[in-house]
Structure formats: structure tokens, C-alpha cells
């Protein structure tokens, strides 16, 4: 047993190995200078759904994960066509200075546990942003990140925090392409628009 840097919990070796693997996958696509840091609360439970695990066969991802991937990539203004491979999309995402990070760097299996972890690790995330990522803009995504938005505001990020009416960008219809189209909730499109008016 050891304490994990990513989630601050006592965990087994397999947990640490999975965390290191996620770090390695993300590091491959980390821009040297980050323009826009997207911050989600925590990575998905399934390793196959991890954003930076470029899959050559998209069927390996769940539908929610495929839609999530597409929305995140679109937020960088990258036009998605069916032929684009995930590897190429991630390389372009990196090339445009975009990076996706998590406030809690390990999957969390309940809302209560996630809320507790965000409270515990929020200040550490702010330090990591200031000392390591040093982005031009920060865009928190997903509703649990609403808990951390004030923390970034108080830490001097107010002007460079990209929010949607004071809240993180959320796509309530992830996993439901029809609902997304019908209600126009595409997170990627809305975020790309908000960012283009900033830079």
C-alpha cells in the first residue's frame, strides 16, 4: 500500500501503475506552452475511455467517451471528420496549445467521493496550474468543477477563467447524440466560440 499522488488515497500497486500509465499517455500530447487548459473533475472509470488513450478502433470506447472525445477536440476549433484518427486529432489538439487535465487525477466512483476529493485536492490543483501548466486560459468543464471555480477566481484567475454564465461548460446530452443535436448542447462548439472571443 502507498499513498497515490493523483487522488491522495491509500492504494495498491495496480492503482499506481494505472495512474502512471495515464500520466505517460497524457504527457505524449502535452504542449510545451499551454494556451488553454481544460480541467475536468476526474478521469472516467474505464481505462479504455481515457481521453489521451488514442484508440485506432473507436468501438473500444463507450458512446459517452466517443462523444466526450469529439467535444473536447472540437473545443480547440478542430473540424472533425469521420476519417480523422484519434492519434491525429490529439496531435492537432496539442499543436493548438490545448491540454486536458483533471483536478483529481484518478477515477472516483461516486459523487460524494468526488466532491470530497475535489475539496481536498482543489488547492493542490491551483498550485499545479500556477507552477507547472501555466496556461493562458483555464476552462473548467463538467458540473462538479463548479466547486473549484471560486478557488481559481480567488487565486487571481478571474480574468482568464472561461466560464459559461459563471459556471463550467457542461454537455448534459453526452451519450445522447439526438438530444445533443436537438438542444444544441455541444460543449465543444460553445467552448470554441467562447475561446475565440478571448484570444
Q: Does 4 bind Zn ion (CB under 5 A)?
A: yes
Q: Is 73 helix (H, G, I), strand (E, B) or coil?
A: helix
Q: Does 26 bind Zn ion (CB under 5 A)?
A: no
In the complex, least distance from residue 177 CB atom to Zn ion, rounded to whole angstroms = 32
**Residues in contact with 34: Cβ distance below 8 Å, sequence separation at least 6, in sequence order:** 97, 98, 99, 133, 134, 135, 136
CA distance 65 to 171: 12
DSSP state of 161: B
DSSP state of 104: S
Quick one: which segment of 41-49, 52-60, 66-74, 100-108 binds Zn ion (CB under 5 A)? 100-108
In the complex, least distance from residue 5 CB atom to Zn ion, rounded to whole angstroms = 7
In the complex, least distance from residue 2 CB atom to Zn ion, rounded to whole angstroms = 10
Q: Does 6 bind Zn ion (CB under 5 A)?
A: yes
CA distance 132 to 44: 23
Residue 7 or 161: the one with the smaller Cβ distance to Zn ion is 7
How many positions of this chain bind Zn ion (CB under 5 A)? 4
Quick one: which segment of 6-14, 68-76, 173-181, 189-197 binds Zn ion (CB under 5 A)? 6-14
In the complex, least distance from residue 7 CB atom to Zn ion, rounded to whole angstroms = 3
Quick one: which segment of 5-13, 43-51, 80-88, 173-181 binds Zn ion (CB under 5 A)? 5-13
Cβ 30 vs Cβ 107: under 8 Å? no
Residue 7 or 72: the one with the smaller Cβ distance to Zn ion is 7
Q: Does 38 bind Zn ion (CB under 5 A)?
A: no
CA distance 39 to 51: 12
Helix axis angle for 86-95 and 63-75, nearest 10°, is 30
In the complex, least distance from residue 183 CB atom to Zn ion, rounded to whole angstroms = 35
In the complex, least distance from residue 174 CB atom to Zn ion, rounded to whole angstroms = 24
Q: Does 141 bind Zn ion (CB under 5 A)?
A: no
CA distance 152 to 158: 7
Q: Is 58 helix (H, G, I), strand (E, B) or coil?
A: helix
Query: Binding marks (x or -) toward Zn ion, 102..121, rule CB under 5 A?
Result: ----x---------------
The grid coordinates listed for 17 are: 501503475
What is the contact surface with Zn ion in residues (CB under 5 A)? 4, 6-7, 106
Amino acid at each position: 500500500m502507498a499513498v497515490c499522488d493523483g487522488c491522495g488515497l491509500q492504494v495498491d500497486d495496480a492503482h499506481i501503475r494505472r495512474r502512471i500509465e495515464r500520466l505517460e499517455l497524457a504527457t505524449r500530447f502535452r504542449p510545451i506552452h499551454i494556451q488553454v487548459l481544460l480541467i475536468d473533475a476526474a478521469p472516467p472509470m474505464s481505462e479504455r475511455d481515457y481521453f489521451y488513450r488514442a484508440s485506432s478502433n473507436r468501438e473500444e470506447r463507450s458512446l459517452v467517451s466517443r462523444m466526450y472525445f469529439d467535444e473536447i477536440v472540437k473545443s480547440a476549433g478542430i473540424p472533425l471528420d469521420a476519417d480523422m484518427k484519434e492519434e491525429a486529432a490529439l496531435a492537432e489538439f496539442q499543436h493548438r496549445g490545448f491540454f486536458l487535465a483533471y483536478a483529481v487525477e484518478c477515477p472516483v466512483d461516486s459523487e460524494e467521493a468526488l466532491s470530497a476529493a475535489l475539496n481536498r485536492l482543489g488547492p493542490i490543483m491551483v498550485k499545479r496550474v500556477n507552477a507547472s501548466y501555466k496556461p493562458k486560459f483555464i476552462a473548467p468543464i463538467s458540473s462538479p468543477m463548479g466547486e473549484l471555480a471560486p478557488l481559481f477566481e480567488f487565486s487571481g484567475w478571474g480574468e482568464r477563467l472561461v466560464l459559461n454564465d459563471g459556471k463550467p461548460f457542461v454537455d448534459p446530452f453526452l451519450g445522447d447524440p439526438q438530444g445533443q443535436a436537438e438542444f444544441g448542447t455541444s460543449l465543444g462548439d460553445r467552448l470554441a466560440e467562447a475561446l475565440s472571443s478571448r484570444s
